[in-house]
Amino acid sequence: MAVEIRTCTPDELRQGMSPIFHFFGRSVDDAGAERFDRVIPPDRMHAAFDGGAAVGGAGAFPFELTIPGGRVRAGGVTMVGVLPTHRRRGILTQLMRAQLDSLHERGEPVAYLWASEGVIYPRFGYGMAALGGMLSISRTRSAFALPFERVGQVRLVGADEALELVPPLYEHVATETPGMFARTRAWWESRVLADPAWRREGGGELQRAVLEVDGRPEAYALYRLKPDFEYGNSTGQTSVVEAMGVTAAATRETWRFLLDVDWMESVRAMLLPIDHPLWFLLAEPRRMRFTVWDALWVRLVDVGEALRARSYEKGEPVVVEVADSFCLWNEGRWRVGGGDVARVDEEPDLRLDVTALGSVYLGGFTFAQLARGLRVEELRLGAIARADALFRTDRAPWCPEIF
């Protein structure tokens, strides 16, 4: 019997999610499925059915993704997996084909994801678009480089109050940061502020802290404490889930609060931007033991629309020839700059694959970096420098959560 690839009905949504849950060693119980039931419509979940049983799946959240200069409709690709009983049969390729075709038909010009295995997604046009980091620092080595006058007051809030105070702060940062997406109230309730036991990883309950300056919320932190003792001494850890502020001073205050939580020996944080302000706030930044790895991967589903949605710096236009063997409608030459993006027949200045274009789209990498990695061909002298001038951004792309 042939495997059937199609979207799920409402009754099949959890079944379509089951293949990826298998790889996390869990079944799709009510608690786990609730994180998805409220935020992904069934027709956004493609599944591979064999004899009525789901053996593979691939979902896409309907996101509004921040890009340089604004936001664009995007598919936040998630829950991609094929059961080991059905590997090496081309099922993943069929799922990716169906999903990208669907995103194209819906008019969503960009798809992006976190890759569990980075080797998989370039086959389908995704390019590494952002780096992320993790830190682990001893509280005794967390002094700041410069003295400063404390501002505001941090207070712990309950879940209901956090639901009112925290989202506007996130949204302020999200509209300025490529890679972040607009969160709905359902997303906050079922994902960010939800605190099921399985998410704690040995830590305590989710703590919610809000910094108020002159009575106005300006920053927040979500964290867990993992208390432990050895020979009577604390070896506990403050595990930061998410922390950000609407001003540099508010961000500084929030991190000083997190680095000063009593009883804890160290502070650990993941999913950080590589240009995090702690690099310059800390007196000894190397004490963070900052570890870097690939974070977001971007796929331009509709090259023309995706490029038109983005802003550019002033500069001489460049003509880019794009190769895209998986989505042939993208292949061609595109003139970027001069206040316009258009498909043209002109001789190209640069030649690259759609994966490389995805890498520069959010501003996480430059054309010069791609050239040094032999991922772009400069056909006219100076074209790489001109392209970098057009695509320049002032901050690294970042997404504070894996979706």
As a whole number of angstroms, the distance between CA 46 and CA 60 comes to 9
In total, how many domains does the chain have?
3
Which among 243, 271, 293 is the end of a domain? 293
Is residue 120, in this structure, part of any structural domain at all?
A: no
Q: Are residues 289 and 341 located together in one domain of the fold? A: no
Q: Is 171 helix (H, G, I), strand (E, B) or coil?
A: helix
Task: Give me the phi and psi of 144, to 5 degrees please.
Answer: -85, 155
Q: Are residues 160 and 224 located together in one domain of the fold? A: yes
Residue 226, domain CATH: 3.40.630.30
Catalytic residues: 121, 403
Q: Are residues 257 and 160 located together in one domain of the fold? A: yes
Q: Are residues 204 and 306 located together in one domain of the fold? A: no
Is residue 397, in this structure, part of any structural domain at all?
A: no
pLDDT string in tens for the chain (403-residue length): 689 999 999 999 999 999 999 998 888 876 667 778 899 999 999 999 999 999 999 999 999 999 999 999 999 999 999 999 999 999 999 999 999 999 999 999 999 999 999 999 999 999 999 999 999 999 999 999 999 999 999 999 999 999 999 999 999 999 999 999 999 999 999 999 999 888 898 899 999 999 999 999 999 999 999 999 999 998 999 999 999 999 999 999 999 999 999 999 999 999 999 999 999 999 999 999 999 999 999 999 999 999 999 999 999 999 999 999 999 999 999 999 989 999 999 999 999 999 999 999 999 999 999 999 999 999 999 999 999 999 999 999 999 999 9
Which among 272, 293, 314 is the end of a domain? 293
Q: What pLDDT score does 283 carry?
A: 98
Task: Give me the phi and psi of 46, to 5 degrees please.
Answer: -90, 145
Q: What pLDDT score does 29 carry?
A: 77
Query: What tokens were used for 160?
Result: 């209901």
Q: Residue 38's beta-bridge partner residues?
A: none
Q: Which domain holds residue 77?
A: 4-108
Query: Within the chain, what is the greatest distance between any pair of CA atoms?
Result: 74
As a whole number of angstroms, the distance between CA 392 and CA 86 comes to 44
Q: What pLDDT score does 370 carry?
A: 98
Q: What pLDDT score does 32 carry?
A: 66
Which among 93, 108, 123 is the end of a domain? 108
Q: Are residues 66 and 184 located together in one domain of the fold? A: no
Is the distance from CB of 70 to CB of 109 less than 8 angstroms? no
